[in-house]
A and B are shown apart, each in its own frame.
Chain A
């Protein structure tokens, strides 16, 4: 179970967002500065909750940590060209969602080596691109897409306006229809009263 001992044999239990737990070696966990700051010295009583991240992501992150246990201490960013075959496979296996989750988790756990490799990988996608190409890479809508979107929105607004106008027109018509008999009634009453008054005054 969990223990503050520094031996690499010691296993820690990690709890994911699904509530599942799994083992990670102390040596792997110690690559996380967040873990070092929070648990290493005081120890963890029960599973360590990293409940903002799902099991798959955490397993992927700690898979990397377990693999790089025997590598020398991290001493600044390394170029992708210098990555081992294992590292390259590790990155290539991930889909985009997983990649983002791994960066998020790695960033939270403050695993310098993994975060820096991931970030360098992203930087590689952007290098040498012009603005339009970058928009595509970072999947922002292009100017044409924005234009098309704006047109659709304008059309929608125009249609909504038409509907509103029609509704207003119909309301006006109903109003006049409702108003007519009242007006007529008032008029007829007035006429009657005038006639009565006249007949009285004649008498």
Chain B
């Protein structure tokens, strides 16, 4: 039968090919896309390719994971390094000059996972990654970049090649010594939609980033000295933590006034700003129309996250026209807090082992 001599898949009507794809896993669909240009186009047209996302690692290791949206498991892993093909010609693949070999395995949960080793000279790793990522984004419908991890200690310049391709991602984590405006370059190059985690630790504010930050979930910066009022005022993010910030009391007043007079900024739950120096200085509570704590209006303890609570009975409250209430707390060691009460009277049980600020 057909199995012995192979099967001319591309001779089938496209609807039948699509039905064949229904029985294949993402890994096999990716493999078909690597067979030839025609195969790539057929996969590209396939409407039933399951939804996927890509995670990118650009640090000491260079890798790309294709994960299934359904079960969040990696179905194909690409590793990029300066290795030799050896005698693995039988497992060879190639995409526009990037080439390597494939190993497949079935893990303990019976999930097939493909390991694609891209053999590329060290200097061309970023370019090879771009080639592979472009291919994947092109052939897999509903595929998007979810997480990007960049460590500038290993790649001080090459990461820029990667960012030339990526226009948007859900979350980005970067580590840098902060000496080369890395944060500014990253934020200017890519739109981060959910979470930004910047672990740059050196103090550098010579070149601030003045654009907007559109993250909706988390912003966590170990060194936010680059942030100015222009960017602060664009934030509509659930949890924001800015360390080593250089924002002034005026900048923060502008932000608070914007929040109070707005009907938007509904995502904001927690803003924490810490400075290298003493603090942000006094705020004009009168101008904000802030009031002292009223136990009738809200509870005293606010849960920052699992295991960390803050006592807000000394905080000042501001209330919006739409009834949303927020508290301003200036903590001795933890800096400035702006906390929005989604629930004014949450559970006040203090769990064993938790910390209260």
* A interface residue numbers (CB < 8 A to B): 77, 91-96, 99-100, 103-104, 107-108, 115-116, 118-140, 143
Cβ of A164 to closest chain B Cβ, rounded Å? 30
B11 within 8 A of A: yes
A138 and B91 within 8 A (CB):
no
Given contact pairs A100-B11, A103-B16, A138-B9, A128 touches B104 in the complex (Cβ within 8 A): yes
Q: Given that A100-B12, A103-B12 are known contacts, is A138 also in contact with B6, CB under 8 Å in the complex?
A: yes
Complex CA gap A179/B89 in Å reads 60
| 22 A-B residue pairs with CB within 8 Å | A91-B1, A95-B1, A96-B2, A100-B7, A100-B11, A108-B13, A118-B16, A119-B19, A119-B20, A120-B23, A121-B2, A123-B20, A123-B21, A125-B3, A126-B9, A128-B112, A130-B93, A131-B93, A134-B35, A135-B35, A138-B7, A143-B92
Set of chain B residues within 8 Å of A118, measured between Cβ atoms: 16
| B84 contacts A by Cβ under 8 Å | no
B8 within 8 A of A: yes
The segment from B24-32, B121-129, B215-223 found at the interface with A is B24-32
Total number of residue pairs linking A and B with CB closer than 8 Å: 121
Q: How far is the CB of B183 from chain A (nearest CB, A)?
A: 39
A108: chain B residues within 8 A (beta carbon): 13
Which of B16, B23, B114 makes the CB contact (< 8 A) with A77?
A: B23
Alpha-carbon gap, A108 to B13, bound state (A): 9
Q: Smallest distance from the beta carbon of A91 to chain B beta carbons, Å?
A: 7
Q: How many residues of B contact A (CB 8 A)?
A: 38
Min CB–CB distance A167 → chain B (angstroms): 36
A147 to chain B, nearest CB (A): 12
A92 and B20 CA atoms in complex are apart in Å by 18
A-B residue pairs, 5 tightest by C-beta: A123-B23, A119-B19, A139-B6, A138-B9, A131-B93
Chain B 168-202 per-residue mask, 1 if CB under 8 angstroms from chain A, else 0: 00000000000000000000000000000000000
B1 partner residues in chain A, CB cutoff 8 A: 91-96, 99
Say yes or no: A94-B24 contact (C-beta < 8 A), given A125-B7, A131-B102, A143-B92.
no
Question: How far, in Å, is B26 (CB) from chain A's closest CB?
Answer: 13
Once bound together, how far apart are the Cα atoms of A139 and B12, in whole Å?
Answer: 13
Contact B22 A119 (CB under 8 A): yes
What is the CA–CA distance of A123 and B8 in the complex, to the nearest angstrom? 12
Verify A116–B94 contact, CB threshold 8 A. Answer: no
On whether A126 and B28 interact (CB within 8 A), knowing A100-B8, A132-B90, A134-B35, the answer reads yes
Closest CB in chain A relative to B6 CB, distance in Å: 4
B 12-49 to A, binary, CB cutoff 8 A, 1 in contact else 0: 11011001111111001001101110010000000000
Q: Which of A92, A104, A127, A130 contacts B12 (CB 8 A)?
A: A104
A86 to chain B, nearest CB (A): 15
Instruction: Determine how close the nearest CB of chain B comes to the CB of A92; give it in whole angstroms.
Output: 5
Residue in contact with B102 in the complex, picked from A122, A124, A130, CB distance below 8 Å: A130
Contact, CB under 8 Å: A138 / B8: yes
Q: Tell me the bound Cα distance from A126 to B3 in angstroms.
A: 10
In this assembly, does B107 line the interface, its C-beta being within 8 Å of a C-beta of chain A? no
A136 to nearest B CB, angstroms? 6
Residues of B near A135 (CB, < 8 A) are 35-36
* Residues of A with C-beta under 8 A to B35: 131, 134-135, 138, 140
CB distance from B228 to the nearest CB of A (A): 50
Tell yes or no: B51 within 8 A of A by CB: no
A137: which B residues are within 8 A, CB to CB?
6-7, 9
- Are B2 and A132 in touch, CB under 8 angstroms? no
Give every chain B residue within 8 A of A91 (Cβ-Cβ). 1
Are A99 and B2 in contact (CB-based, < 8 A)? Answer: yes
Q: Is B354 in the interface zone, CB < 8 Å from A?
A: no
Separation of A143 and B24 alpha carbons in the complex (Å): 24
Docked-complex contact B19 and A139, CB < 8 angstroms:
no
The reply to whether B5 and A96 form a contact with Cβ atoms under 8 Å apart is yes
Chain B residues with CB under 8 Å of A136's CB are 6
Is there contact, CB below 8 Å, between B7 and A139? Answer: yes
A124: chain B residues within 8 A (beta carbon): 23
- Cα(A125)–Cα(B4), bound, Å: 10
User: Cβ of B69 < 8 Å from any Cβ of A?
Assistant: no
Residue among B5, B11, B12, B16 with max Cβ neighbours from chain A (10 Å): B16
- The answer to whether A131 touches B34 (Cβ under 8 A) is yes
A120 to B89, CA, bound (A): 29
Q: Which residues of B contact A77 (CB under 8 A)?
A: 22-23
Q: Which residues does chain A contribute within 8 Å of B94, judged by CB atoms?
A: 143
A107-B16, A119-B20 known; A129 and B28 CB under 8 Å? yes
- With CB as the reference atom, state the residue of chain B lying closest to A127: B28
A123 surroundings in chain B (CB, below 8 A)? 20-24, 28
B10: Cβ under 8 A from any A Cβ: yes
B23 near A129 with CB under 8 A, answer: no
